[in-house]
Structure 1
């Protein structure tokens, strides 16, 4: 039985996104089954209480080497079945009342936002008592989503400083680093590794057949190459006696 986590809203509102924040490169764990399996567990335990993944069935997790019994014992909620899609019980109207926005479906979030954005976003939360949830995010200012992974990362605040732009002379409010207030269950390195696993799973979920598609693409290109060679030789043989 998967553990229910605090509600989360990965709100999508470009008006609040911080476009000038550099994104960190997400580790490429897409071929690592252990990483994808761990990411699937993190997704079910920390995200699926509020975010749906309506394009993904639990049974598809068997492609990651997770057996049906492991899915039933560890990744299913009480009323779910292996063949069901990853839906949630929370009603959209309730979510909008609680968080101010309806949590988006995460089936293809890695394709719409990019893995680098997700990796940076999930590692950029900080404590902000002025926000309704008590949390804010450096990448997504005034985000509606609380920091559901705070027990793993701990509690930290963000430091900002006012400086003057040398070129324009304007006053600029800039980020100056984080300050750890309460340590988390994981070290910084281990927390980043967990986020990388979660992002890897979100990437896989957005296109589970990506590996197969790439393999087929290679074979198709090889076939077209061979076909082109024979077509070229056939054309040369056909026209060699015609002047």
Structure 2
């Protein structure tokens, strides 16, 4: 019986121990904003750099009016993959073609921030770190790799803005007697933007991706606050009413 308990414990906790002994994933805090100007800039970056390969098939162009854009502004500046403003943000590339080009079909990005949140705790932090962690790797088919998504099939589409980073690889002890690879990034060829400007552009893009995953989030939060306030007031009134009814009963 004791042997059976030991075996069950080993089977249950071995995966957890293996995970604990692996390299820790460090994510930078994403400065997510709900400011319309930031969301509009994020939408512009998304359409110009992401929508070539990644679709957002659950988001319609006309919903961009909710971040302060007029219908004409959307048509003139952001609608490159549709004819009508009520159409979804789809792409022309087929999934089977994408698998040939990249080894895997690029995922739809409508709810990517929520999807990554289910895996890593904060989808915004993961996306913000990921978009700033590409480096040159000539061993990869695309010529690019990523610190937090090793051997990713996606090339660094924002490289002209950020420039190229160079990876410095070291082998370090993880505290459990295992050697783990640690990658630090150093500036290489500069891009069009400074580091601060690129971080801001990336933050705007992530803010837009977060908004796109749940456009009603801010309204939902404000409604929730109003409901809690109403219930609090109702509780006070109910308590006073109960106290008045029972004041003569001992």
TM-score range (shorter-chain normalised) is: 0.7 to 0.9
Q: Where do 1:57-136 residues align within 5 Å? A: 57-77=60-80, 79-113=82-116, 114-136=123-145
Partner of 1:5: none
Which of these two proteins has the greater Rg computed from alpha carbons? 2
Higher helix share: 2
CA distance, structure 2, for counterparts of residue 206 and residue 130 of structure 1: 34
Partner of 1:36: 39
CA distance, structure 2, for counterparts of residue 45 and residue 188 of structure 1: 20
TM-score when normalising by structure 2: 0.84
Partner of 2:31: 27
SS of the aligned residue for 1:179 comes to: strand
Structure 1 pair 58/166, CA: closer, same or farther in 2 (3 Å)?
A: closer
CA distance, structure 2, for counterparts of residue 204 and residue 167 of structure 1: 39
Query: Which consecutive residues of structure 1, in runs of 5 or more, have no partner in the other structure?
Result: 1-17
Partner of 2:240: 233
**Offset, 1:179:** 3.2
Query: Which consecutive residues of structure 2, in runs of 5 or more, have no partner in the other structure?
Result: 1-21, 117-122
Structure 1 pair 66/134, CA: closer, same or farther in 2 (3 Å)?
A: same
Structure 1 pair 78/240, CA: closer, same or farther in 2 (3 Å)?
A: closer
**Offset, 1:180:** 3.0
TM-score when normalising by structure 1: 0.86
Pairwise CA RMSD of aligned residues? Answer: 1.9
1:173 pairs with one of 181, 184, 187: 181
CA distance, structure 1, for counterparts of residue 174 and residue 240 of structure 2: 67
1:208-242 per-position Cα deviation (integer Å, ceiling 9, x unaligned): 11111111111111111111122212222333334
Aligned residues: 224
SS of the aligned residue for 2:151 comes to: coil
**Offset, 1:112:** 1.9
Which structure has the higher relative contact order (CA within 8 Å, separation 6+)? 1
**Offset, 1:169:** 5.0
2:215 pairs with one of 208, 219, 240: 208
Partner of 2:149: 140
Partner of 2:225: 218
CA distance, structure 1, for counterparts of residue 23 and residue 204 of structure 2: 25
Q: List 4+ stretches of structure 1 deviating above 6 A.
A: none
1:164-208 per-position Cα deviation (integer Å, ceiling 9, x unaligned): x39555444322x32333211111111111000000111111111
Q: In 1, are the aligned partners of 2:81 and 2:89 still within 8 Å (CA)?
A: no
1:25-80 per-position Cα deviation (integer Å, ceiling 9, x unaligned): 111312x1111100000001111111111221110111111111110011011543
Structure 1 pair 172/79, CA: closer, same or farther in 2 (3 Å)?
A: closer
CA distance, structure 2, for counterparts of residue 19 and residue 172 of structure 1: 6
SS of the aligned residue for 1:158 comes to: strand
Structure 1 pair 94/229, CA: closer, same or farther in 2 (3 Å)?
A: same
CA distance, structure 2, for counterparts of residue 59 and residue 19 of structure 1: 43
